[in-house]
Amino acid sequence: MKQNVYDNSTFFKAYTNLRESGITYNDFIEQPAIKSIVPNMKGKSVLDLGCGDGHFSKYCIENGAKKVIGIDISTNMIERAKKINGDKHIEYICVPMEDLKLTNQQFDLVISSLSIHYVEDYSALIRNINRLLKSNGEFIFSTEHPIVTARKGTSHWISTEENNKLHWALDNYHEEGKREHDWFVDGVVIYHRTISTLINTLIENGFVLDKIVEPQPTPVGLEKMPKLIHEKRRPSFIIIKSKKLNE
């Protein structure tokens, strides 16, 4: 069964509070990087997979996209998206990205911000995304870096008693699959995949790799959230930009 932790009320409340603070890893590492590599969106049709509260769907419209479909597994998130990021050019649909059909539509751009690590069958998802793209259409996604997701059980900094971070602990890298961690609630499930799996699955399914970004904190981020300095010591996220091959 697909996990829908964003419909857990404890999780949803804590997550919403965090995002509203504007002081997050998303704000200062991932979002600036993904925004820096999206193509010119003027007149484009966009599919936003795991759209959450719709902030990126809205960003696309504000930057010239002519139409966005934002989908998410969580009714909480879709309701929030309609409320705070509604737009007549955006259609929000509550559906898990694994089950998305949309058989009669193809997009110029498929985007997914920090959602794909929740999906168990990456290969099936990539094949479906290929089908949903026009020729030369682009697919850009960010995910937790394999170095962050690899270790089973506790996955964290090794610190001294005075909480000085000594190094990042890596383990279980080649053992792909389910990982459970505690984030607001116990047992949030994500899926660990190696870098080679992330990339080769794209290439094997009709994509050409365009760029990889391992983003670092922005200067403003380092100022407002000083602990981000440690994100220069390990890769936190990976963003992969690719293009559908001509058929």
Instruction: State which residue, 93 or 209, has the beta carbon closest to a second copy.
Output: 209
**CA neighbor of 49 nearest in space, from 41, 60, 39:** 60
When asked if residue 194 is in the footprint of a second copy (CB under 8 A), the reply is: yes
* Contacts to a second copy from residues 133-192, by CB under 8 A: 147, 151, 158, 166-175
Residues 76 and 12: beta-carbon distance below 8 Å: yes
- CA–CA distance, 107 with 91 (Å, rounded to integer): 14
Binding characters for a second copy, 38-77, by CB under 8 A (x = yes)? ----------------------------------------
Q: Which of 181, 212, 218, 224 binds a second copy (CB under 8 A)?
A: 212
Closest separation between CB of residue 187 and a second copy, Å?
A: 22
Q: Which of 43, 196, 220, 226 binds a second copy (CB under 8 A)?
A: 196
Which residue, 93 or 169, is less far from a second copy as judged by CB?
169
Three-state SS letters, 195-222: HHHHHHHHHHCCEEEEEEECCCCCHHHH
Under a CB-based contact definition with an 8 Å cutoff, are residues 231 and 216 in contact?
A: yes
Q: Work out whether 213 is an interface residue with a second copy (CB under 8 A).
A: yes
List helix spans (H) across 9-93.
Answer: 9-21, 25, 31-37, 55-62, 75-85
Q: Smallest distance, Å, CB 122 to a second copy?
A: 15
Minimum distance from CB of 52 to a second copy (Å)?
A: 25
Among 63, 66, 210, 224, binds a second copy (CB under 8 A): 210
Is 157 within 8 Å of 230 (Cβ atoms)? yes
Say whether 240 sits in a helix, a strand or coil: strand
Q: Which two tokens stand for residue 14?
A: 């804590």
Q: Does 227 bind a second copy (CB under 8 A)?
A: no
Applying CB under 8 A, the residues found at the interface with a second copy are 147, 151, 158, 166-175, 194-196, 199-200, 203, 208-214, 216, 232-235, 238
